[in-house]
Structure 1
Amino acid sequence: MDEDEWYRRHGLRPADLEPVRALLREQTALGVHNDSALIHLGCVQLFLHGDLADVPLIWRAKHSSFDAACSVEWQLLCGAGRERTLDHLRALGTAEAGEVLAYLSIVDPADVAAFSVEEQSRWYAQYYEAEEVS
């Protein structure tokens, strides 16, 4: 299944996120053979839901291949808001959470200052709606 078919079946804000999580685990397991566009869409779907429990899954998907690493922006880790995400990662205290914290700490301060979940959500909605029309 490609990104277009996934979008047609599930939309941007699926009510049931378990298929999205399963898709990301499956694509992550494929490593360099994964579909980075499909991974991006799945991460956007989770971002829009804003569940802090999804941050490690998004992180693993991001690091499953070079293309996925390039397509999954840092903002996708922060669907619940950047500060809430940082607090959650600190509370987890795992090595993986430490990696995400280190990654988020090197984001350009100007990008951090400009980030808002609402604006990013609008941007993703416009992006995928434009793709649907194309």
Structure 2
Amino acid sequence: MTSEEALQKFGLPAAPEDRDEIRRLLALEIERERQGESGEEMLRTLCLQLFSLGYPEDALLIWEAKQSSFNAGYGLDIQFVCGAGLTVTKDYLSQSSVLESSAILQYLAACDQAGDFAKWTPQVTIEHYRSYYGL
């Protein structure tokens, strides 16, 4: 599947009923990225579609995608981790027992302090990428 096909199939924002399939495809794409076989655009598209659903627990999988390679680390927006919004995501992560949660919280705090979330909302990101993809 290509990025364009994913956009056609799942849309932006994606539909909640497609969440499990998007998560499954993203997990496969993360493995491909770790092996140096992925295309960054597909990784970005799937992260964006999952982000668009707004589930705070998806922050962990999106973070995993961001950490899957050097290029993904810089190429995937940190805002993708916060589909439920910055405050809700931070609240979820602060209560999570997953080891990576504290690292994500520290990274988010640094990005927030640097102004990466100034005047930001999930809808701003969705609209930006709808324009980017010509939707």
Interval containing the TM-score (normalised by the shorter chain): 0.7 to 0.9
Q: Paired residue for 1:14?
A: 14
- Aligned-pair RMSD on alpha carbons? 1.6
Say whether the 8 Å CA contact 1:34–1:65 is kept in structure 2: no
Q: TM-score, normalising length from structure 1?
A: 0.87
Residues of 1 paired with 2:14 and 2:23: CA distance? 11
Q: Paired residue for 2:116?
A: 111
Deviates more, 1:113-122 or 1:44-53: 113-122
Q: Partner amino acid for 1:18?
A: D
Structure 2 gaps, min length 5: none
Candidates 109, 125, 129, aligned match of 1:124: 129
Runs of 4+ in structure 1 displaced over 3 angstroms?
none
Structure 1 gaps, min length 5: none
The percentage of aligned residue pairs carrying the same residue is 32
Q: Where in structure 2 are the equivalents of 1:40-119 lying within 5 Å?
A: 40-107=44-111, 108-119=113-124
Q: Paired residue for 1:24?
A: 26
Residues of 1 paired with 2:119 and 2:59: CA distance? 21
Q: TM-score, normalising length from structure 2?
A: 0.87
